[in-house]
Amino acid sequence: MGYVTVKDIAKAAGVSTNTVSRALNGKPDVNAETKQKIIEVSHKLGYVSNRSALSLKRQKSYIVGVVTEDNANPFWAEVLKGVEATAKNYGYHIIIANTSRNYETESEDIKMMLERRVDGLLISPVQEKYDDLFKLKKYDVPFVIMGRRVEEIDVPMVYDDGVRGGRIVTDYLIEKGCKNIAFVGAQPYNTASSERCKGYREALKEHGMIVNDSFIKTGGIEINGGYSSVMELVEDHVDFDGIFVYNDLMALGVIKALKELKIRVPEDVKVVGYDDISYASFISPALTTMRMKKFEIGEIAFKLLLDSNGQNKDKIVLHSDLIIRESA
């Protein structure tokens, strides 16, 4: 059995197809009694509107593509909640693609979205390079960058003030008595990580403390990255009493490594993460972290996309808040 059509409803209701079409589209020139009958018949028959036909007619798909690094990551899961909730409020649907932080996958995902004629894209770029984004800009397809600051391309974007956040975390660790603070970050081309590291460096200098590159480890971005970074610090005989971690997933790995090494948190080493993912308050010790406005990133990104029309170049910078728990 195929899809129920407007003709099927017209036949069952004893009216013309034009009347059915106008009634289902909420036109005011249909008798209220007739309209009610048509709606009841459409429900009884299980009618589903043909969005593809409507899209062809209006030259809009009402679908937005979302290209992110990993929607299983609790941080991005919250961002996507913001995107999806806002999309529904404006009558849109979303298609999600995960790049797994691979540039080639990102390029293929963007190509796939364009083939499906999405009305626009929300992208959290890998940042290894930006060739695909420059190409996308030439196509004149509106897109917004979310969660990252990209200076190389002039499009709307929404991101956290990482330099400010890095300074707040480092200032707090110094206030708590830390003299030798390590920074555990992501890949060097990840702007969120590099900006938090910049804030860390600035805070150390302001307090008259030496910035020692041996205290900085980059390369990972998830639990294993945090774990291996601590092991590298220990193998390099770096004497640290505080660790500022790029994100909370990595902080879980940091704390796991410290426990295995019989290093007490926070008595021997204080640890601060970033993001405030849902797990942060449930681990032991509960994680001190910067609470990012994750839902708002998704919400604002979608609204920027609707407002862009190729003209809006807004850069929205959000501020995170320090949430003090047991780890520091």
Tens-digit pLDDT string for the chain (328 aa) = 466 888 889 999 999 998 988 888 788 888 889 999 998 998 888 877 665 555 545 567 889 999 999 888 999 999 999 999 999 999 999 999 999 999 999 999 999 998 888 999 999 999 999 999 998 888 878 999 999 999 999 999 999 999 999 999 999 999 999 999 999 999 999 999 999 999 999 999 999 999 999 999 998 888 999 999 999 999 999 999 999 999 999 999 999 999 999 999 999 999 999 999 999 999 999 999 999 999 999 999 999 999 865 456 799 999 999 999 999 9
Is the pTM higher than 0.85? The answer reads no
CATH class of 6-49: mainly alpha
pLDDT of residue 1: 44
Rounded to an integer, what is the distance from CA 92 to the centroid of its chain? 18
Cα–Cα dist 100/71, whole Å: 9
Fold of 162-291: Rossmann fold (3.40.50)
Query: Left (φ > 0), alpha (ψ -120 to 50) or beta: where does 216 sit?
Result: beta
CATH class of 61-160+294-319: alpha beta
Q: Exposed (0-12), middle (13-18) or buried (19+): which is 41, by Cβ within 10 Å?
A: buried
The tokens for 113 are: 């979205």
| DSSP result, 59-124 | T---EEEEEES-TTSHHHHHHHHHHHHHHHHTT-EEEEEE-TT-HHHHHHHHHHHHHTT-SEEEE-
Say if residues 280 and 289 touch (Cβ distance below 8 Å).
Answer: yes
pLDDT of residue 163: 98
For the chain, the domains span: 6-49, 61-160+294-319, 162-291
Check for a shared fold between 6-49 and 61-160+294-319. Answer: no
pLDDT of residue 61: 83
310 contacts: CB under 8 Å, gap ≥ 6: 140, 142
Q: What are phi and psi of 195, to 5 degrees?
A: -70, -40
Element (H, E) at 249: helix 248-260
